[in-house]
Structure 1
Amino acid sequence: MVMNKTSKCGLRSKSFFENGKGKNFARPVIVVRKLTKDLFLGIPTTTTLREDNDYFHKFKYTTYNNEVLNVSALILQVKVFSIKRIMNKIGMINKEDFKVIVEKSKNLFGPT
């Protein structure tokens, strides 16, 4: 899989997620960074809107089916995913929201 600047902030469905929807329990994940050829750092999202704070970020994105979705990024659940679990690319978030999400995730690892 080739990752470029635009696909870094793409939302992708990951199969077999515990709390996902549909027959495959798919859940959209924000691809934050490619780590190796097999792994990437991702942040799961939810359609249950959460209050904006250090652990959640509300945003809208447009899917490739031109559907506008309101979702929250679950920044506290940042984790490493295998690219084998990616089902498909479903949309893109804007750069401003992506920058905020990355900044909030960096703050999780900084000194308190």
Structure 2
Amino acid sequence: MVRKNFDEWNKMKKKIDRKSKGRFYHEGEVWWCNIGLNIGNEQHGDYINFKRPVIVIKGLSLMTFFAIPLTTSQQEHKYRFDVGLIGGKQAKAIISQMKVVDTKRLSQLICVLAEDLFQEIKKAIKDLF
């Protein structure tokens, strides 16, 4: 079991929060995002940079949006949706882990999803409810 370094994440979180503004985004984009460390089985970033790729699903305001984290785990699960190659790695969207994210957490644009794939993911989200 890997020990989570919440103290290091707290330092980074304070630095991210001090940013004067976030990034401009579009729905359907995939970004590296400072998700951080979370509790229990909540999806979190890696243990070094606290980052994970996310899909921008729905803009809520200039500064917030619904994000779906991605995983490279190929484990089958009814709430994981195959999105193909992202940044050179096979990825799945973890639709059960959708959350609101501030644009200050965005660090680097990875790619833009094909429109048909983006619509399939949105349909999978609707089917979840």
Is the shorter-chain TM-score for this pair beyond 0.5, marking a shared fold?
yes
Q: 1:39: which partner in 2? A: 64
Q: Which of structures 1 and 2 has the bigger CA Rg?
A: 2
* Displacement after TM superposition at 1:57 (Å): 0.6
Report 1:49-68 matches (<5 A).
Answer: 49-51=74-76, 53=78, 55-63=79-87, 68=88
* Displacement after TM superposition at 1:77 (Å): 0.6
**Percent of pairs with identical residues:** 29
Q: TM-score, normalised by structure 2?
A: 0.69
Residue pair 1:61, 1:94 contacting (<8 A) in 2 also:
no
- Measured against aligned partners, the alpha-carbon deviations of 1:7-36 in whole angstroms (never above 9, x if no partner) come to 311111111422323632110000011101
Residue pair 2:24, 2:103 contacting (<8 A) in 1 also:
no
Q: 2:19: which partner in 1? A: none
* Inter-CA distance 52–100: structure 2 relative to 1 (3 Å threshold): farther
Q: 1:8: which partner in 2? A: 27
What's the secondary structure of 1:104's corresponding residue? Answer: helix
User: Take 2:74 and 2:82, find their aligned partners in 1: how far apart are those partners?
Assistant: 7
RMSD across aligned positions (CA): 1.9
Matched, 1:99 2:124: no
User: Take 1:30 and 1:39, find their aligned partners in 2: how far apart are those partners?
Assistant: 13
Q: TM-score, normalised by structure 1?
A: 0.78
Q: How many residues align?
A: 101
* Inter-CA distance 84–21: structure 2 relative to 1 (3 Å threshold): same
